[in-house]
Homo-oligomer: A and B are copies of this chain.
Amino acid sequence: MREDRRSASREDLSDAWPRYTAASLGLRNYWYPVMWSRHLRKKPRAVILCGERIVLVRDRGTAYALHDRCPHRGIPLSQGRCHFPGLITCAYHGWCYDVRTGELAAALTDGPDSPIVGKQSVRVGTYPVAERAGLIWVYVGEEPAPPVEADVPTELLRPDTVVVGVIQRRRGNWRYAAENGVDEGHAKYLHRRTPWTFFREVPAWNIIHLGPSDDGEWQLRIPDHTRSADTYPRVGRWPRRRHFWESRSRGPLDVGARLPGWVRVRRQNWSAYEAYVPSDETHYLSVLFLAKWTAGPDAWLFRAWYWLWRRWAYHWRFNAQDQRMVESMQTPPERLYRPDVSITAWRKMCQTEARGSG
């Protein structure tokens, strides 16, 4: 099997995984989290998802998404306002679109009898939108949208889910970010020196295989063999020492991946989620959050612990090391090694199991 993997890695990526290679703007026909629910108020908000310019608005409590371009003169609707119930008005000439259907409901500067109102040729495209777990989810694709529950990790649908995190638009194609997220090998070297791992023992190396989670939702990385330190030819002992303040590893992390670009790390009583959401060819949305299933004072403790420590140490400092790699990674060509079975499995999942163009 090692032989297989090695020869596969020598092939050009585009031959091995043509569909994945072509997906520079992301996998379509999925629901993606794009912003925090609480950040969407009356003011329209622009987002680029899978290469499509989308404007999000909230109308009487409900979120809507439309193509972010007025067909008249090409001004982004996100520069406009929501003056009238159920309508978004373009900033330029006051064309008002129905946020539900995208139909032109009025052209203020052309009078009540404007002949262009209601014409199909000036209808704006709309997108399915949902709100779950404090996030706004948008569906992009040609196939009919499945229920949003199909794409939200199941446990996040529980009503006692407490979610805290950070969403940023970042430089780099989503696949570099997703591959870094599913990558087994790098944490044990790249993240060895950062505040988040200061009090933890980071193992030297391990061997893994991949297998499905109990509920079938995630592809887990299952360690076969882990060494906290070892002696290498040419190198000697690595890591060179174990500090007394590094707590012994509490057993292997439960790390899983799922389409269309998710990574989950389960801890004892909370989980960390990473969604690598395609924006344009050179940017992705980094959606990073933690979830705990609790309420009352424990929920507030969880939030405090996040804002006082984890946000800085985990979502900022730890993640900045990953982002530096995403921005400087230059593949192909590449030459994979044993722990990259996690990357190869991810590509294969995108190639064979992603929705659409079945």
Contacts and interface: CB of A to CB of B under 8 A. Distances in A.
Contacts of A295: none
Contacts of A189: 89, 91-94, 108-109
A108 B235 contact: yes
A250 interface: no
Interface stretch (A213-221, A260-268, A305-313, A329-337): A329-337
Contacts of A329: 73-75
Contact of A234 (B74, B75, B106, B231): B106
Contacts of A325: 73, 75, 91-92
B230 A112 contact: yes
Interface residues of A, number: 65
A98 B107 CA distance: 58
A110 B337 contact: yes
A109 B188 CA distance: 6
Nearest to A91: B190
Contact of A230 (B10, B72, B111): B111
Given A84-B234, A93-B186, A235-B87, A205 B110 contact: yes
A62 interface: no
A111 B115 CA distance: 73
A205 B114 CA distance: 10
A330 B74 CA distance: 4
B10 A121 contact: yes
Contacts of A236: 84
A354 to B, nearest CB: 23
Contacts of A105: 233-235
5 contacts: A72-B336, A86-B234, A94-B188, A108-B204, A116-B335
Given A108-B189, A115-B338, 20 more contacts: A2-B115, A6-B115, A72-B334, A72-B335, A75-B328, A87-B235, A89-B189, A91-B189, A92-B189, A93-B189, A93-B337, A105-B233, A105-B234, A106-B233, A108-B188, A109-B204, A110-B337, A111-B207, A112-B230, A114-B338
The 6 closest A-B pairs by CB, nearest first: A94-B189, A74-B330, A105-B234, A111-B205, A109-B185, A112-B232
